[in-house]
Structure 1
Amino acid sequence: MQINVNLFTVNKRFPLTISRGTTAQTTNVWVKISHDGIEGWGEASPFGVGNHRQSTDTIKNALEQVVPLLQTFSPLQRQQIEQVLTQNQVPSAARAALDMAMHDWLGKRVGLPLWQLWGLDRNQIVPTSVTIGINSPEGARARARDWLQFTDVRLFKVKLGSPDGIDADKKMLLAVREEAPEPEFFVDANGGWSLEDAIAMCNWLAELGIKYVEQPLPRGEEKSLAKLKEHSPLPIFIDESCFTSSDIPDLANHVDGINIKLMKSGGLTEAMRMVHTARAYRLQVMFGCYSDSSLANTAALQLAPLADYLDLDSHLNLIDDPFTGALLKEGRVLLNDLPGLGVKHSASTT
């Protein structure tokens, strides 16, 4: 199979600030595989968690180095290709792009969307949350108004873990709730709290009716999750602390759910493993994203009927998304009937 690697840059309508910094623009990687006259697409976006960082250059270089090793394979040989990628320590975002592209190719080969090929019911897809980054109370109010004008918001995900401390977190969250009293809320601290602050915030947030808290403690502080769970009245989800299915067993007794992201997992193949592993431990599942376009988010949505929560909104905040795929309707991002991932490029005539 032929594999092409290209870069494309996307810009956010509103820059997003979390506990680790602010992002306004990212350069992502578009992977195209061709075999038997069929083309499959995948996307990789850069991300960083603590000292673990996968930059655009890292992803692109890794793909270019492994491409010669994959050209003798067919997209149907995913197990063998996965072994090659593992042996060569290809970073997870690069693996995700290749895995997406092979699944897209397969769906196009048989003429079915992936959700249908897997026997899933797209009517089970829950509403997606939309994100409000760390901001001043006034700035957060304005961002909430923007979302409410843009779509029928059912869920807000509010980023906390402000460097100014939990008092700043509280003021910002209260401002958003005053501006948007109807939607439900959950909170993502992106590892921005200490154990003491996390316990205090979880109890305060529970009094406000927040649904759950995501990644309250930094990656590397998983040993403290047991104590937090003991003192938290809210469900605890983890994101940065959980990359693949192998991370779940050690964490399962101390959390209530996991956030699966294709860039962390390495693609749809491992994401499916994570869903089944989480269910085996009676954990809830959500799907999230980084600065992904409609290509990667529509790929993740193929598994969305299996999720309890969705946070797939990054493409909704782009002013120059080069792809179209799943469409937003009444707070839900809905899949289409096109084969494979169901994604088109804006320049495509087909």
Structure 2
Amino acid sequence: MPDLSIVSVETTILDVPLIRPHKFATTSMDAQPLLLVAVTTGDGVTGYGEGVVPGGPWWGGESVETMQAVVERYMTPVLVGRRVDDITGIMADIERVVAAARFAKAAVDVALHDAWARCLGVPVHTLLGGAFRTSVDVTWALGSAPVEEIIAEAQEKIETRRHFSFKLKMGALDPATDTERVLRVTEALAGQAGVRVDVNARWDRLTALRHLPELADGGVELIEQPTPGEQLEVLAELNALLPIPVMADESVHTPHDALEIARRGAADVLAVKTTKCGGLRRSREVVAVARAAGLACHGATSIEGPIGTAASLHFACADPGIDFGTELFGPLLFSAELLQEPLHYADGRLHLPTGPGLGVELNMDAVARWTRK
């Protein structure tokens, strides 16, 4: 019988450079910090999880530094000595010790799934019920360059068959200027690809009422989180007004959040990030609520590296509730490859790797190179 007992939990912070700066509504980054969490069993099997937030603590209050402290000081004592197949019990006990901290919990949850699946010699999706598909659509996030460069970037992705759907960030510029910029891109790509926008919860109600109808009339296919996450009544008002789908992101972290959005009719689509939801188990609960309410779910990203992206891919391939595509493009933004064999992107899709666990193997030389000193 394999020894499934957890003998060690180790954390490592990496700073991985990007191919270009990635801009959000309030910040931008030219490197993505990652927290690797390694869970090792008595038989020497190691599973990896990834703690990552989109651009730092501005989004959800966590950072790789806070995650590392919480995992090492408060979660590791719960883990060591337990079995990697005791995920439900371990995560329930962690919940009693640590409130919120869902990004940190996600790193531990994924590491446990990876280790357990490797011990069994099966892929992670087997633990989630099995993969009913082997690839998912991937939307590409366009940069913050001048409009002509953004259009050229999108057209290059279309011509090389890398992506057929695009997202633009909004919220950092004057709203009228921002709207005009997006409409120019949408017009240029009309008939070639869909364009959606993400305001990162940075507009107030009146700004949203003024500019979102312009975006919808101009051909934008989806509006993501235009107003603050806690203002569900405003999101519901906008969703009722607009003829295109509204997607909730900052408004939904938990199954109860999903229930409230459904009750209020606040969104048509939920952005499900395995990171912000607290891991694979909790993400399944969020999706279950959405499916019961007739809401679509999008496999969203926190700009994960290859470990976090592989985990979200296994989840998306195992859960039919992820039925509104994905944006699991994180590793494509990295200028450094962390895997021995990169994840496979082709024809606008990300393809499920084979092999035990997450199906990917870290290049430990690359990990060492980008480890924070």
5 Å-filtered alignment, 1:157-306, equals 157-175=167-185, 177-178=187-188, 182-252=192-262, 253-305=265-317, 306=320
The 1-side partners of 2:31 and 2:228 are apart by 25
1:112 to 122, 133, 144: 122
Residues 149 and 63 (structure 1), Cα distance of their counterparts in 2 relative to 1, 3 Å cut: farther
Contact (CA 8 Å) 2:179, 2:211: kept in 1 or not? no
- The answer to whether residue 54 in structure 2 is matched with residue 43 in structure 1 is no
- Counterpart of 2:72? 64
- Count of paired positions: 347
- 2:49 alignment partner AA: G
Aligned to 1:4: 10
Give the Å deviation of 1:145. Answer: 4.8
- Secondary structure of 2:61's counterpart equals strand
Q: In the alignment, is residue 132 of structure 1 matched against residue 142 of structure 2?
A: yes
Q: Greater CA deviation, 188-197 or 247-256?
A: 188-197
1:228-247 Cα shifts (integer Å, max 9, x gaps): 12211111110011111121
- What is the rounded CA distance, in whole Å, between the counterparts of 2:179 and 2:361 in structure 1? 39
Separation (CA, whole Å) in 2 of partners of 1:282 and 1:102:
31
CA contact (8 A) 2:78 2:90 kept: no
Letter in 1 for 2:113: H
Q: 1:109 to 1:70 in 2, by over 3 A?
A: same
In 1, Cα distance between the equivalents of 2:189 and 2:236? 35
TM-score, length-scaled by structure 1: 0.92
Whole-Å separation in 2 of the counterparts to 1:209 and 1:339: 43
| RMSD after superposition | 2.2
The superposition leaves residues 218-272 of structure 1 with CA deviations (integer Å, 9 ceiling, x where unpaired) of: 2232221221122111111100111111211111122111101122111111111
Deviation of residue 181 (structure 1)?
5.1
Q: 2:328 aligns with which of 298, 312, 316?
A: 312
Q: How do 1:16-55 residues align onto structure 2 when only pairs under 5 Å count?
A: 16-35=22-41, 36-47=43-54, 52-55=60-63
Range that drifts further, 82-91 or 45-54: 45-54
CA distance in 2, matches of 1:20, 1:151: 31
Secondary structure, aligned partner of 2:12: strand
Classify the secondary structure of the residue corresponding to 1:37: coil
What SS does the aligned partner of 1:23 have?
A: strand
CA gap of 1:328–1:180, structure 2 versus 1, over 3 A, is farther
Aligned partner of 1:330: which letter?
Answer: D
Deviation at 1:180, TM superposition (A): 7.4
Helix, strand or coil at the partner of 2:137: coil
- Quick check: 295-304 or 67-76, which moved more? 67-76
3-state SS in 2 of match to 1:96: helix
The question of 1:144 aligning with 2:154 is answered yes
Distance 1:112 1:149, change over 3 A: same
How far is 1:11 from its partner? 1.1
**Structure 1: 5+ residue runs without aligned partners?**
none
Determine the C-alpha separation between the residues in 1 that align with 2:302 and 2:71. 19
Structure 2 gaps, min length 5: 1-5, 366-373
Distance 1:248 1:59 in 2: 25
CA distance in structure 2 between the aligned counterparts of 1:240 and 1:282, rounded to whole angstroms: 20
Question: Once the 2 structures are TM-superposed, how far is the Cα of residue 162 of structure 1 from its aligned partner?
Answer: 3.3
TM superposition shift of 1:317: 0.8
Post-superposition offset of 1:147: 3.8
**TM-score (norm: length of structure 2):** 0.86
User: Displacement of 1:7 after TM fit?
Assistant: 1.5
**Residues 1:13 and 1:148: Cα distance change in structure 2 (over 3 Å):** farther
CA drift of 1:146 comes to: 5.5
Q: Tell me: CA distance 1:338–1:109, structure 2 relative to 1, closer, same or farther (3 Å).
A: same
Alignment of 1:321-332 (within 5 A): 321-323=337-339, 324=341, 326-332=343-349
The match for 2:371 is: none
Output the CA distance in 1 between the equivalents of 2:162 and 2:338: 24
